[in-house]
Each structure stands twice: as C-alpha cells, then as structure tokens.
C-alpha cells in the first residue's frame, strides 16, 4: 500500500483526532460485501455450536448474551477471522497511529442481540497490560450501530491518563464487572457507526456501551487489539502475531486477563474469569 493510499484512508485530520481525543473513525474501510461475509461466517459458527476455549452458546438460556456469547480469539481457529484481523488496511492505519510496526494481540466478535446488557466504561489496557506503551483497538461495525442497539461511548482525553482502579459495575446493565467512572469534567460521547466503519482507539481511553434496547436489532462487531513492535510484555492470554501471520512471542506482564471479567450467572458455582 502506497503513501498516497494511506493518506486517502487516514487523512491528517483523522490522525490529529486520534492524538487529541484518543480515538478516530475511518468510515467505509470495509465494503458491504465484506461485512456481510463476516456476519455470515459468525452466524454459521453460532449455529454450529461451541468451540471449547473460545465460546459456548447456550440456546435455552434466558440471558441473550449466553444464547449468543461473544467469541474470543476466533482468529485462532477460523480463517476468515484471521484474515480480517491481519487485513492490510488495518495494518496501514495502525502503523501510522503507532508510528512503528504492529503486532496483533487479540480478536473478538460480539453478537449483542436485542435485550443484551452492555459493557460498563473501562480501559482495554487494564486487561492486556501492554508494557511499555499501550494497545490500540480496531472496532469494525458489521451493521448500523447507535445508542438504541448498544453502540459505544468514549470519554475523549482519558487516553492521556493512567489506568484507573475500577469500581463494581451494575450487573443489570453490564455483563462485565469493571466500571471506570468518567473523571471530573469529562463526559462520554456516543460514536455511531455504519457497516464497514472502523473505530480506532487508544488502550487507555475510557469507553463502554449500554444495553441493546432495540426490539429486533443486533449489534454485531469484530474487534482486534494491536500493540507496537517495541512492546516488551503483554498478558499471557494474548498470543501476539506479526501482521504477516507469524508468531512473535512477548514476555508476560502481571495482572492481565481476557477483556471484561464477566459476572457469574446466578446459581452457578463457577468463579469469574
């Protein structure tokens, strides 16, 4: 990809927005056929049933998020997910944002069906524990996403702050336990997305989402997390890859874990992850 191509994808205004606010949106980075293909792939995965260690749908569960759970690290067993995680367009944008070569650390797919809880405000690097530096998320919308169906909110400026010690989230609104209140003087800003738009944001940026309050709309999205090549440590859960697909192991940092510590279902004897 040439410098002209990169400038067309990520003009200077978007680069400056990322530096100033901690996030930027590249509109239409993926085409309609691509997002439809991605959604169809994960619909087939959901219909096929569990993949041990990655997701375990429970069709009879009353909780929408247990009927249609998020898929963790799908690139490790699915070629389409791997293709999207390592896409050359994402690589081009991320290398500009990081100012160096990047490594892929994680992929996730969220179905977020109608009635599903959101994820309380949090910081991604609280989980990845990238050292030195932080991670960057690339959050691909697979369909129209807004506040009604549980779209993301971000708190601009928090990317310049340290990691906060989370409070306990409201279990009725969030599937994850951690909640970071907006710092004084800062407020969450909604980010509406169309299919194919990609939201890039800093790993220290406070962000989250509310419940999907729509009657019949999913909020499907594919998320990749990336780190700069100069990173030395990351949580053991994250098995970093070069953007050509080769394994590039990093030393392990402490205190890390999967993104979002889920509440235990009522009546379950298992412990939170």
Per-residue tens of pLDDT for the chain, all 273 residues: 887 888 889 999 999 999 999 999 999 999 999 999 999 999 999 999 999 999 999 999 999 999 999 999 999 999 999 999 999 999 999 999 999 999 999 999 999 999 999 999 999 999 999 999 999 999 999 999 999 999 999 999 999 999 999 999 999 999 999 999 999 999 999 999 999 999 999 999 999 999 999 999 999 999 999 999 999 999 999 999 999 999 999 999 999 999 989 998 755 443 333
Please tell me the predicted confidence (pLDDT) of residue 29. 98
Please tell me the predicted confidence (pLDDT) of residue 273. 31
Reading phi first (left if > 0) and then psi (alpha if -120 to 50, else beta), residue 6 is in: alpha
Residues linked to residue 247 through DSSP beta bridges, in sequence order: 241
Which one, of 119, 173, 151, 120, lies nearest residue 218 by Cα?
151
Antiparallel, parallel or unpaired: β 233-234 and 251-252? parallel
Neighbours of 230 (CB within 10 A): 11
Query: Cα dihedral angle (38, 223, 235, 245), rounded to 10 degrees?
Result: 50
Please tell me the predicted confidence (pLDDT) of residue 260. 87
The per-residue b/e assignment along 236-262, b for 16 or more CB within 10 angstroms, e otherwise, is ebbbbbebeeeebebeebeebbbbbbb
Q: Is the pTM of this model over 0.85?
A: yes
Please, what sign has the CA dihedral across residues 56, 60, 63, 67?
A: positive
Question: How many distinct helices (H) and strands (E) make up the chain?
Answer: 7, 15
Q: Mutual orientation of helices 88-98 and 12-21 as an angle, nearest 10°?
A: 60
Please tell me the predicted confidence (pLDDT) of residue 264. 81
Structure tokens at 173: 């609104």
pLDDT digits (tens, 9 = 90+) for 107-143: 999 999 999 999 999 999 999 999 999 999 999 999 9
Please, what sign has the CA dihedral across residues 89, 195, 200, 71?
A: negative
C-alpha span between 264 and 241 (Å, rounded): 31
C-alpha span between 77 and 149 (Å, rounded): 29
Read off φ and ψ for residue 78, nearest 5 degrees. -130, 125
Classify residue 210 as exposed, middle or buried by CB count within 10 Å of its CB (0-12, 13-18, 19+): buried
Domains of the chain: 3-252 (2.60.120.620)
C-alpha span between 150 and 115 (Å, rounded): 9
Antiparallel, parallel or unpaired: β 102-110 and 71-72? antiparallel
Q: Please report which helix (H) or strand (E) contains residue 108, including its range.
A: strand 102-110
């Amino acid at each position: 990809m040439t410098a002209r191509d990169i400038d067309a994808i990520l003009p200077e205004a978007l680069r400056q927005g990322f530096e100033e606010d901690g996030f930027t949106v590249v509109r239409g980075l993926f085409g309609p056929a691509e997002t439809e293909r991605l959604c169809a792939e994960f619909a087939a995965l959901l219909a096929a049933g569990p993949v041990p260690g990655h997701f375990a749908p429970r069709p009879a569960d009353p909780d929408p998020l247990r009927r249609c759970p998020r898929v963790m690290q799908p690139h490790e067993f699915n070629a389409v997910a791997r293709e999207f995680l390592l896409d050359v367009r994402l690589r081009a944008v991320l290398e500009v944002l990081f100012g160096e070569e990047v490594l892929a650390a994680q992929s996730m797919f969220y179905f977020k069906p109608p009635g599903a809880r959101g994820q309380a405000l949090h910081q991604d690097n609280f989980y990845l524990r990238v050292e030195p530096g932080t991670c960057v998320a690339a959050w691909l919308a697979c369909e129209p996403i807004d506040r009604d169906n549980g779209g993301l909110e971000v708190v601009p400026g928090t990317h310049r702050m340290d990691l906060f010690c989370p409070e306990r989230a409201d279990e009725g609104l969030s599937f994850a336990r951690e909640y970071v209140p907006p710092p004084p003087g800062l407020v969450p800003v909604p980010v509406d997305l169309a299919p194919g738009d990609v939201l890039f944001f800093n790993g220290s940026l406070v962000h989250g989402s509310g419940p999907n309050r729509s009657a019949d709309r999913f909020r499907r999205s594919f998320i990749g997390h990336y780190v700069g090549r100069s990173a030395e440590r990351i949580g053991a859960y994250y098995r970093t890859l070069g953007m050509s697909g080769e394994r590039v192991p990093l030393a392990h940092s402490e205190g890390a874990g999967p993104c979002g510590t889920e509440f235990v279902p009522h009546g379950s004897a298992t412990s939170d992850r």
